[in-house]
Structure 1
Amino acid sequence: MIKKIVVLSIGDWKNIRRDPFLIFSMFGILLLASFVRFGLSKLDELIATHTTYELTEHFPLIVGLVLLMTPLMIGMLYGFVILDERDEGVLLYYAVTPLTKVGYLFCRLLLPMITTFFLSFIVILIQGVIEWKIITFIPTALLLALQAPLITMLMASLASNKVEGLALAKVINLSILSPLIDYAITNPLAKVMIFLPMYWPAYMFILISHNDDWIHAFLIGMIITICWFILLNHLFQRKIG
């Protein structure tokens, strides 16, 4: 299986190189993390000189949102790859190879998970404004990694081609606002955001940054993510099939 994943990954990279948008999806998150490291402190100083607003207390939220960009961009990247391959009839080819259609779908969901998990560590290393510990970041990275196949399945299930995929991507991007809405709005209606899986990795990271209890957030986040996974997997299998 590892050999099949490597072969599929090489083919993915060839597809990604042909599309500048897909390349940006891969490396844009690292540029954003670099801006946080080198630009956020300067922005805080600029705001402090003209106002009494303290941006530093919101750094955990900002870094949490940047971390959410990782599964968002990687999930959409692999979603576009599936849409491309479906348009070209590649899935029919994989169905008669040793990989099989089931193996293909498994790899298509496993690869964004693995990529997001390791890329999350690169992002947290680059950001440089929030202290972190590897023992508490591992569960955060795991929860982040599980968001990527959700985005991939959402793209592949609801879009019929890349044009529809681009329109859908704009809607999916709004999911990154879920922790911000709950963070900024005190109205109880804002709590509806907790039913979105993308809410929980950022919320969990904020709790960890403030040394608060994060175990319950991790468990609830896992339950909600698994529920969404079951729902989207049903749509995904039906659409691909």
Structure 2
Amino acid sequence: MRKIHKLWTVDLRQSGRDPLTALLFFVPVIMGLAGRFGFPALLNLLPAGLDVTQYVRLSMAVLVLFPSMLTGMIAAFLMLDEKDEGTLTAIQVTPVPKMQYALYRLFSPVLMSMVLVVLLVIIVGLVIVPAWVLLLTAILAALGAPLWAFVIFLFSGNKIEGLAIVKLLSLFIGVPLLAEVLPSKFLPLLWPFPLYWPYKFFLGSLTGATYTSLLGAWIVGALIHAVYLAVLLRFISKRSYA
């Protein structure tokens, strides 16, 4: 537990020193406020009588995907800072096993992302869902945070390269929307994409999907995330961070 506390202390110090990393913590709240006040203003500009319900649902289903990307970016940038500056040498007075470090890097963005997803939905306030739906959405969406973090870290040598990777990976945010235009026979092509499953689960809860289909989507999504995480953890645990 002492080792984890040291990691947490280093993270807070690193975040405070880097304006970009510190700003990322507030982006979901800014997005929530923009959605709360911006969506109604935008809807007022649309023709009277136009049913915008589906657009609101789609927007919210995509919006819940962003906290995992942002918290994953924060975790990745902290890892890159630690690699560049060798700050883990201070922690390793009592050595931190690489797998323990990787697990810490897995769970910290997950917890942050869960909180931010819940706050985002509440702040925007455009849709109302049962508490259990919001909780399961937050958990499933948050599982993507360490995926973002590990992929950015593994393919970046520094934060500049990390930002370039983020720009490339951010294109995947739009992948779930393909489900709205693809024929049903092509939907299995979206199954390997982790972002598709929290989108499908949350949108399904807004459009009256059955409990069975919701539960099935959640379980499949969680399993797909777990497979990717297991593979990435093996790579992360083999790397030296000191």
Cα distance change of structure 1 residues 5 and 183 upon mapping to structure 2, 3 Å threshold: farther
Range with bigger deviation, 10-19 or 97-106: 97-106
Report how many residues are paired.
238
What is aligned with 1:83? Answer: 80
**C-alpha distance after superposition, 1:207-239 (max 9, x if no partner):** 011121311110110111111112222222234
What is aligned with 2:225? Answer: 225
CA contact (8 A) 2:113 2:145 kept: yes
Aligned equivalents of 2:29, 2:192: Cα separation in 1: 28
Gaps of 5+ in 2: none
2:166 to 142, 165, 169: 169
Cα distance change of structure 1 residues 240 and 71 upon mapping to structure 2, 3 Å threshold: farther
Greater helix percent: which structure?
A: 1
Deviation at 1:37, TM superposition (A): 1.3
TM-score between the two structures when normalised by the length of structure 1: 0.89
1:197 partner SS: coil
Do residues 199 (structure 1) and 196 (structure 2) align? yes
Identity of aligned residues (%): 28
1:181 to 178, 181, 199: 178
Aligned equivalents of 2:144, 2:164: Cα separation in 1: 20
Gaps of 5+ in 1: none
Aligned equivalents of 1:4, 1:209: Cα separation in 2: 42
Cα distance change of structure 1 residues 71 and 240 upon mapping to structure 2, 3 Å threshold: farther
What is aligned with 1:94? Answer: 91
Q: CA RMSD in A?
A: 2.1
Runs of 4+ residues deviating >6 angstroms: none
Deviation at 1:95, TM superposition (A): 3.5
**C-alpha distance after superposition, 1:59-110 (max 9, x if no partner):** 1221121111000000011101001101112334434425444332222221
**Structure showing greater relative contact order (alpha-carbon pairs closer than 8 Å, 6 or more residues apart):** 2
Range with bigger deviation, 208-217 or 177-186: 177-186
Do residues 64 (structure 1) and 22 (structure 2) align? no
What is aligned with 1:23? Answer: 22
